[in-house]
Structure 1
Amino acid sequence: MTKPPKIPESVLVVIYTPDLDVLVIKRADQPDFWQSVTGSKDALDEPLAVTAAREVAEETGIVVGTPEVPASALVDWHHRIEYAIYPQYLHRYAPGVTRNTEHWFGLCVPRRVDVTLSPREHVDHAWLPYREAAARCFSPSNAEAILQLSARAARPPEGRPPEGRPPEGRTPEGRTPEGRTPGSA
């Protein structure tokens, strides 16, 4: 049975700690190719966040949605790039498909967590300070995503106030300036 062609829409997930140490993994099929977690959608209607969480679990053994790594730790960076598929991977796609759209995510884990690699895909891993991790990546766009980490990690996810700050127009206890809590009359 032959595998169906890959869908030319994928995710790149930068896994990092609060200290901005970044996990990079070494590809099994290309000895000098270090990268972040990447992978394609399994179905056209698969939500990108589901693709990202699945690929993280498949490639590293890190499960998103656990007490240690809550679902809120996986953040869609709302950034996408389109690139030419490397010639050595074109056979995985339908005839005539030469470009892929990649969506960037960040996953903040509490510390350098243990990693269980999928040996058919990756043969080594390293936790590195983010600039070193970017320098090790074979893909310029992967390096760029990692280098954006210091600015992205300082910003709260969309719609949430920075840590320790109440939402605009609220006191630290969550009250409005008039002393009411949301939903009270």
Structure 2
Amino acid sequence: MPYKIPESVLVVIYTPERDVLLLERADRPGFWQSVTGSKDSVEEDLRSTAVREVHEETGIDASTFDLFDWQLANIYEIYPVWRHRYAPGVTHNKEHVFGLCVPTRISVTLAPREHTQYQWLPFAEAADRCFSPSNAEAILQLPQRHILSKN
């Protein structure tokens, strides 16, 4: 199995009312997050990565809704439990943040190997539930980001 590319997307899926979709990781019960995923190839552009990951993890076709590149990137240390997925010596990942506005709390189809359940929560509650600090921070930026994306 090839190593993961240490460049990924984080996609905050939300409604106009600022309800946020969270997914529980199958490999870590109790770890809630937004859609995340690494590029499949160095050549894959970030928007394509975001659309692909949203579809793989939720069944949502992100190309039919408002997908916004928040022009925000986080560099974080990869949790030791997941470092074996990356080439030897790779310890950090660059995560690019996107927002996906859907009209309402829509049903999703989870990828069972990746996630066991989902929930829609008001944005502040969703931020509190996230295990990842960068994910929580992105969700807390939602009120400002949503206003900017409408303009």
Relative to the length of structure 2, the TM-score reads 0.98
Percentage of matched positions with identical amino acids: 64
Greater fraction strand: 2
Q: In structure 2, list runs of 5 or more residues that go unmatched.
A: none
Provide the residue aligned with 2:142 in structure 1. Answer: 149
Distance in 2 separating the partners of 1:144 and 1:78: 14
Conserved? CA contact 2:68–2:149, under 8 Å: no
State the shift of 1:65 in Å.
Answer: 2.2
Greater fraction helix: 2
Does residue 78 (structure 1) correspond to residue 71 (structure 2)? The answer is yes
Give the secondary structure class of the aligned counterpart of 2:21.
Answer: strand
Q: Following superposition, which runs of at least 4 residues in structure 1 exceed 4 angstroms of deviation?
A: none
Aligned partner letter, 2:124: R
Matches within 5 A, 1:62-101: 62-66=60-64, 69=65, 73-101=66-94
Give the secondary structure class of the aligned counterpart of 1:145.
Answer: helix
Say what the alpha-carbon RMSD is for the aligned residues.
0.8
Q: Deviations over 1:6-28 (max 9, x none)?
A: 00000000000000000000000
Provide the residue aligned with 1:173 in structure 2. Answer: none
Question: Does 1 or 2 have the higher relative contact order (CA < 8 Å, sep 6+)?
Answer: 2
Q: In structure 1, list runs of 5 or more residues that go unmatched.
A: 163-185
Distance in 1 separating the partners of 2:149 and 2:37: 25
Q: Deviations over 1:72-127 (max 9, x none)?
A: x0100000010110000000000111110000000000101110000000001000
Relative to the length of structure 1, the TM-score reads 0.80
Provide the residue aligned with 1:114 in structure 2. Answer: 107
Matches within 5 A, 1:34-53: 34-53=32-51
State the shift of 1:32 in Å.
Answer: 1.1
Conserved? CA contact 2:8–2:38, under 8 Å: yes
Distance in 2 separating the partners of 1:65 and 1:128: 23
Distance in 2 separating the partners of 1:156 and 1:21: 16
